[in-house]
Amino acid sequence: MLKPSIFSQTQAELNLFLRLNDVSTQLSSIIFQQIYKNKFNQELSNSLSLLLKKTFDYSVPVINKITTSEDGTIKFLMGLEDGNQVETVLIPFFKKYTVCLSSQVGCAMNCSFCYTGKMGLKRNLKSSEIVGQFLVARQYLQSQSDERVKNPNIVFMGQGEPLHNSDEVLKSIQVLMEPMGAAVGPRQITLSTAGYLPGIKKLSHYPQINIALSLHSPFNDIRKRLIPINQHFPLEDIFFEFDKLDLKKKQFITYEYLLIKDLNNRSEDALELSKWLTNRRALINIIPFNPFPGSEFQRPTEEDTLEFKEKLVALKLRTMIRTTKGSEILAACGQLNSLIEQEFPV
Ligand code: SF4
């Protein structure tokens, strides 16, 4: 029988396991510190160590390939137990790293601007495989003695639509947030969705992490060309659900706006965006499109990007331009594809 992964256990679940085996639940904190913080101040008894090893699987994804970009972005091709592979990216930003985690092998959403969408969906990742990506990437930084390793932020922007695998993603977040374990804070975690409505309806069960929507166009007809699920889940329905979320003071929803040459950078786009976002707590993140082999779209010029930002700012919309990292190693937004990585290593 397959053993459950130790990395899919919350502390409450581990406590239950210990109680059922007549072991003090106080030891769960020591176990968590050993696993997630590499702290070995207190030893576990041999019998408990054996019991844990006999009951739980301790394996994590293995690094099959590492590619580093000139700007310091590190892309990992990680092998899973069944032979599938996913990509995980470490993005440096000032004194910190952000770990970009995958939630699925491939993706079912088939967004036309995205390399991952071309893979189709192979399978969902288990929560332990998501937690494992984080641990392996952090371990890599520790092995490089990188000072910026402390408390990396997390974004669910790798392969897959995280809300299409909502239960496992939620579980991974709960495990990563355990105070005795990795202790990642909710505001250090950002989940980005293409607008998968059944998953958005479950967001109220999540801790108060940051939410981002891949908006890309304020017009449903253009948006559904970019994100095909928009034909089932139009913007009206997405905003209806977002408006029900209990945002904390100063909390925003980030709207990612992939800026594509000659497609969505017109004045009417800016005006329509302001109709949707003016009375909402919104932060717009403009991402100049990152081309990939065979993509039908083109990247806008820097002037076009700045001009569009100015149009939004003039409409009093809070707007930023996201610096592209790792594009030359296909590690930037929308460029991940672990099948092509297997066949044509970059
Ligand atoms: S952009 Fe996100 S949701 Fe769309 S195909 Fe790519 S990975 Fe999937």
CA neighbor of 90 nearest in space, from 37, 157, 33? 157
Give this prediction's pTM: 0.92
pLDDT band at 343 (very low <50, low <70, confident <90, very high): very low
Q: Do 154 and 31 fall into the same domain?
A: no
Q: Do 48 and 67 fall into the same domain?
A: no
Q: Do 161 and 229 fall into the same domain?
A: yes
CATH code of residue 88: 3.20.20.70
Q: Which domain holds residue 109?
A: 62-343
Encoding tokens for residue 189?
Answer: 């975690």
Write the DSSP string, 142-193: HHTT-GGGSS-EEEE-SSS-GGGGHHHHHHHHHHHT-TTTT---GGGEEEEE
Per-residue pLDDT reduced to its tens digit, 282-335:
999 999 988 877 788 889 999 999 999 999 999 999 999 987 666 655 655 565
The total number of residues shown for the chain amounts to: 346
Is 285 in a helix, a strand, or coil?
strand
1 in any annotated domain: no
86 in any annotated domain: yes
Q: Do 48 and 160 fall into the same domain?
A: no
Q: Do 270 and 334 fall into the same domain?
A: yes
Q: Do 264 and 249 fall into the same domain?
A: yes
Measure the CA–CA gap between 102 and 169, rounded to whole angstroms. 10
335 CA to centre of ligand 1 in angstroms? 10
Q: Do 19 and 161 fall into the same domain?
A: no
Beta carbons of 317 and 282 less than 8 angstroms apart: yes
- Which of 29-43, 126-140, 206-220, 274-288 shows the lowest mean pLDDT across its residues? 29-43
* pLDDT at res. 344: 33
pLDDT band at 337 (very low <50, low <70, confident <90, very high): low
273 in any annotated domain: yes
Per-residue pLDDT reduced to its tens digit, 81-90:
999 999 999 9
Provide the number of structural domains found in the chain.
2
Give the residue, 292 or 131, on which the prediction is more confident. Answer: 131
Beta carbons of 152 and 187 less than 8 angstroms apart: no
Q: Do 110 and 253 fall into the same domain?
A: yes
Return the exposure string of 165-182: e unless at least 16 CB atoms fall within 10 Å of the residue's CB, then b.
bbebbbbbbbbbbbebbb
The pairing of strands 74-79 and 319-321 is unpaired
159 CA to centre of ligand 1 in angstroms? 7
302 CA to centre of ligand 1 in angstroms? 24
- Out of 107, 165, 258, 337, give the residue to mutate to test ligand 1, the one with the largest number of ligand atoms within 8 Å of its CB: 107
Rounded to an integer, the average pLDDT of 154-170 is 97
Per-residue pLDDT reduced to its tens digit, 55-88:
999 999 999 999 999 988 999 999 999 999 999 9
Return the exposure string of 72-109: e unless at least 16 CB atoms fall within 10 Å of the residue's CB, then b.
ebbbbbbbbeeebbbbbbbbbeeeebbbbbbbbbbbbb
Which is the closest atom of ligand 1 to the Cα of 333? Answer: 1
| Nearest CA, atom 7, ligand 1 | 160
- Which of 125-134, 232-241, 297-306 shows the lowest mean pLDDT across its residues? 297-306
Residue type, position 263, single letter: L
Q: Do 31 and 66 fall into the same domain?
A: no
What backbone torsions phi and psi does residue 296 show, to the nearest 5 degrees? -85, -5
Q: Do 138 and 279 fall into the same domain?
A: yes
